[in-house]
Structure 1
C-alpha cells in the first residue's frame, strides 16, 4: 500500500504593492537614497550661491561668452585673445586630449615591451627592464616633469645649433621639429581613406569574431587584418587624391627652425614625463598578466613546434588580456588625470586655461566645476571604452 505524498503547502503570493515585497522595498530604498543625494547637492548649491550673493560675489556661467583677453601659446584650433572664454576652455580640453591620447598609445607599446622584457631569459634585458621600472615608478611624477622640462630648456642646444637626424628631424631648446605632409587636397583624401579604413576594420573584425563564435573555426587576427584594411583604404585615398608626394621638411634657419611641424618643449616634457612614469606601472601590469598564464600553456605551444614569439603572441597574450585590461584601464585614467600637473611647466592644458580664466573673472566655483566635469566625462568615457574592449576579448565558456 502506497502512502500518497503530502501536497506542498501553498504560500500566498504577496502583492507587488505590499510592503512585504522585497522588490518594492528595494525600489523604495533606492529612490530615498537618490532623493537624499539630490537634496544634499541642491542644499549645497543654494547655500553656496546665497553666501556668494551676500558677499557681493558674482556667479553664473555667463562669463563664457565674454572675450577671454589672453592668448594661448599652442592650440589645435585657431585662437586669439578676442575669442570667448568657452573657446579657450575648448582649446584647453583639446591640449589635454592631445597629451592623453598620444600618451596612452606610447604607454601601451612601451609597457608591453618592458613587461615582456621583465620575464626575459636574458639577464641583461631583464635587469635593464627591472631597473627602469624601479627608477621611474619611485620618483614623483612632478619631479620627472620638471627634470624633462629642464633638459629641454637648459641642456639641449639652441635652435641654430639643433641636433639633427639626417636633416629631417631637429631637436633643440625650441622643441622637436618633424617633417609633415604639405597642405594639399591629396593628403586630405589619404587621411579620409585611413579613417574609412579604420571604420571598415572595426566592422569587419566584429563580424568575423561573431562568425567565429557562432560557427567555430580559426579566430581572426587582432593586428594583421585590421592593419591591412586600414593601409589599403589609405592607399586608395592616396591614389584618388592624385598620389601626392610633397612634404614640408623643417630647415635650419638663422635663429629658428622653419617648416615642418614643431612640438614645443612644454608638450614634449609633459608627454615624456607622463609616458615614462605610467609605463613603469603598465609594465608591471603586463608582467603580472603574463605570469598568470599557467606554464602548461607555454609547454603546449612549444610541443606543437611554435616558436617562442608565436607562443607569446598566439597563446599567452590572448589569455593574459583578461587579467591585464582592468588594471590597464586604471593606468589610462591615471595618465589622463595626471596630465593636470602640466600646469607646473606652463603647458596650456585645461587646468592652465581654467586658472587664467579664474584669475581674470573671479568665477572660482564655475571654473573648478568645469574642470571636474571635463575630467569626470573623460574618465567615464575611458572606462566605458575599456569595459567594452574587455567584454570583447573575454573568454566565454559554453
Structure 2
C-alpha cells in the first residue's frame, strides 16, 4: 500500500509540474526573451519521479499471470469483451466525426496563412502549430464540444450489449432493487446533465482562453 501511495504522489507532483512549467516558460519568455524547452523536463519528471518512488517505497503493483485451476482460470485480470466492443465502436465512430471537424477547421483558414509562414522561414509543422491551428481552433471548438457531449450520451448504448455502464447501473440494477422509477430516472438524468454541463464548461473555458490569446 505504501508503494502505491508514493507512486501516486509522484505522478501527482509530475502532473502538477507539467501544468506549471509551461506557464513559467511563457512568463520567462515574455520577461527575458529566453525560451525554455519544457517537454524534456516534463517527460523526465513523468518518467523519473514515479520510477524513483517505486525504487524507494517498493513496487506499487505486481503482475500476476492467470493459471488454470480446475475448470477455470484463477489470478490475473479479465477484460470483458463487451467493454472492448464498446470502446472500439465508440472510438471509431467518434474519431471519424472529430477528424472531419478538425479537417474542416484547418481548411477554413486561408491558404495565404501557410504561404506567410513559409515566407518567414517556418517549417510546415511550425506553421501549422503557430499560425494555422490557433486560428482553426475558433472554428473547431464549438462542433468539437458537441462531439464530446454526443460521446457521453452514446456511451449509454452499452446497455444494448450487456455492459454495466452508468445507465445500466442506475436504470437497471438500482431501479430493479428499489422500484422507485421516477426517482431513479431523475437521478440518471441529473448525472448525465452534470457530466454534460461540466464538459461544456471546460470546453467553453478553453475556447475563451484561445479567443483571449488570439486577441492579445
Q: State the TM bucket, normalised to the shorter chain.
A: 0.7 to 0.9
Deviation track 1:167-197 (CA, whole Å, cap 9, x = no partner) reads xxxxxxxxxxxxxxxxx64344223211221
1:205 aligns with one of 7, 13, 22: 22
Cα distance, 1:199 vs structure 2? 1.8
Q: Given that residues 194 and 237 in structure 1 are in contact (C-alpha distance below 8 angstroms), is that contact kept between their aligned partners in structure 2?
A: no
Cα distance, 1:309 vs structure 2? 3.2
1:375 aligns with one of 185, 192, 195: 192
How high is the TM-score relative to the length of structure 1?
0.47
How high is the TM-score relative to the length of structure 2?
0.80
Q: Given that residues 250 and 257 in structure 1 are in contact (C-alpha distance below 8 angstroms), is that contact kept between their aligned partners in structure 2?
A: no
1:248 correspondence with 2:63? yes
Look up the match of 1:397: 215
SS at match of 1:248: coil
1:319 correspondence with 2:135? yes
Cα distance, 1:283 vs structure 2? 0.5
Q: Given that residues 205 and 226 in structure 1 are in contact (C-alpha distance below 8 angstroms), is that contact kept between their aligned partners in structure 2?
A: no
Look up the match of 2:205: 388
1:292 aligns with one of 87, 92, 108: 108
Cα distance, 1:376 vs structure 2? 0.7
1:196 correspondence with 2:13? yes
Distance (whole Å) between structure 2 residues aligned to residue 315 and residue 278 of structure 1: 27
1:281 correspondence with 2:100? no
Cα distance, 1:350 vs structure 2? 1.9
| Number of corresponding residues | 213
Residues 276, 189 of structure 1: CA spacing in aligned structure 2 closer, same or farther, 3 A cutoff?
same
Distance (whole Å) between structure 1 residues aligned to residue 138 and residue 35 of structure 2: 17
Q: Please tell me whether Structure 1 or Structure 2 has the larger radius of gyration of its CA atoms.
A: 1
Q: Given that residues 293 and 316 in structure 1 are in contact (C-alpha distance below 8 angstroms), is that contact kept between their aligned partners in structure 2?
A: yes
Distance (whole Å) between structure 2 residues aligned to residue 397 and residue 386 of structure 1: 18
Cα distance, 1:217 vs structure 2? 4.5
Distance (whole Å) between structure 2 residues aligned to residue 326 and residue 216 of structure 1: 36
Q: Given that residues 65 and 75 in structure 2 are in contact (C-alpha distance below 8 angstroms), is that contact kept between their aligned partners in structure 1?
A: yes
Distance (whole Å) between structure 1 residues aligned to residue 60 and residue 174 of structure 2: 43
Q: Given that residues 189 and 241 in structure 1 are in contact (C-alpha distance below 8 angstroms), is that contact kept between their aligned partners in structure 2?
A: yes
Higher relative contact order (CA 8 A, sep 6+): 1
Cα distance, 1:384 vs structure 2? 1.5
Deviation track 1:105-124 (CA, whole Å, cap 9, x = no partner) reads xxxxxxxxxxxxxxxxxxxx
Cα distance, 1:250 vs structure 2? 3.5
1:265 correspondence with 2:112? no
Distance (whole Å) between structure 1 residues aligned to residue 138 and residue 73 of structure 2: 47
Distance (whole Å) between structure 2 residues aligned to residue 226 and residue 361 of structure 1: 49
RMSD value over aligned CA atoms? 3.1
Residues 246, 380 of structure 1: CA spacing in aligned structure 2 closer, same or farther, 3 A cutoff?
closer
Distance (whole Å) between structure 1 residues aligned to residue 55 and residue 208 of structure 2: 38
Q: Given that residues 82 and 161 in structure 2 are in contact (C-alpha distance below 8 angstroms), is that contact kept between their aligned partners in structure 1?
A: yes
Report 1:89-168 matches (<5 A): none
Q: Given that residues 302 and 311 in structure 1 are in contact (C-alpha distance below 8 angstroms), is that contact kept between their aligned partners in structure 2?
A: yes
Q: Given that residues 289 and 323 in structure 1 are in contact (C-alpha distance below 8 angstroms), is that contact kept between their aligned partners in structure 2?
A: yes
SS at match of 1:356: helix
Cα distance, 1:358 vs structure 2? 1.9
